[in-house]
Amino acid sequence: MPNVRAGRLSLFIAITAVACGDGPTAPDPEPTYLLPFPVGDSALLIQGNHGSFTHFGPSAYGFDFRMTIGRVVTAMRAGQVVAVEERYLDGNRTPGQENLVFLRHDDGTFARYYHLTVNGALVSLGQRVAAGDTIGLSGDTGYSTTPHLHVDVTRDCVAWGCQTVWIRFQNAGADTLVAGRVYRAQ
């Protein structure tokens, strides 16, 4: 006859080990991102989540970093390039005429990089990139009042107006970024 008591004790020990961190751990359910510029570079955050100018409604979660035209933009996470636009001139101030790069991550989220300079996409459709790879050059195209880079992340939707999601930058030195502060990629 099987020893039921010994079986229950083994199950208790296994559950306790997992709960206490002594056993296997589940993958991190919330992926982290890198700041969208090279390690060592810094940028002023001019608008963050729930900003008063354009970050509200479905676009509530996004970041605008002041960047002069031509600064290197890097991938926040690994992914595949699913959209590229780079024909618009800087300073056009026309909504819908933003140069951009969109990346699709393996978990179905999309990182969107807006306001790149003319001919500022340095990747091609279908290309795979690693986190931290150079993907473009910052600019001042579309609905923009100053040279900057807008980044955000959406889930299962890539078009303008998609619901953005909250993200955390692992190399920013802070869990939540605050407008008016300079952040250096660590």
Contact between 165 and 118 under an 8 Å Cβ cutoff? The reply is no
Beta-carbon neighbour count of residue 186 at 10 Å? 13
**Of the listed 105, 115, 148, 150, which one is catalytic?**
148
Please indicate whether residue 148 is annotated as part of the active site.
yes
What is the SS3 assignment for 19? helix
Whole-number Å distance between alpha carbons of 70 and 180: 22
Whole-number Å distance between alpha carbons of 73 and 37: 5
Helical (H) or strand (E) element with 85? strand 79-85
User: Which residues are annotated as catalytic?
Assistant: 148
